[in-house]
Amino acid sequence: MATINLGKIKPLFKDVWQNNVQYKELDIVAHNISGVRHIFICTVDCINVTPTVSNNNNWGFLVKSG
């Protein structure tokens, strides 16, 4: 029977975003913007790319508190 590698298939919460951490696709991070906590999901592997609401190349905006 053939084996199919599905790769990472579920999101993984990585806590607060840090610039020196290698994030993989589907990693989820929290990041404060102007004192408001935002939650983002990594869409492609990246390091030192700040998640912002308008950065659609590396991060997908999920939700913000408040």
Read off the tokens for 14: 């990585």
- CATH number of the domain where residue 34 is located: 2.10.10
Total number of domains constituting the chain: 1
Domain extent, residue 56, equals 12-64
pLDDT digit string, tens, across residues 41-55: 999 999 999 999 987
More confident of the two residues 40 and 56? 40
Let me know if residue 26 belongs to a domain: yes
Let me know if residue 31 belongs to a domain: yes
Let me know if residue 33 belongs to a domain: yes
Q: Compute the half-sphere exposure of residue 20: CA atoms within 13 Å on the CB side of its CA.
A: 0
pLDDT digit string, tens, across residues 17-31: 999 999 999 999 999
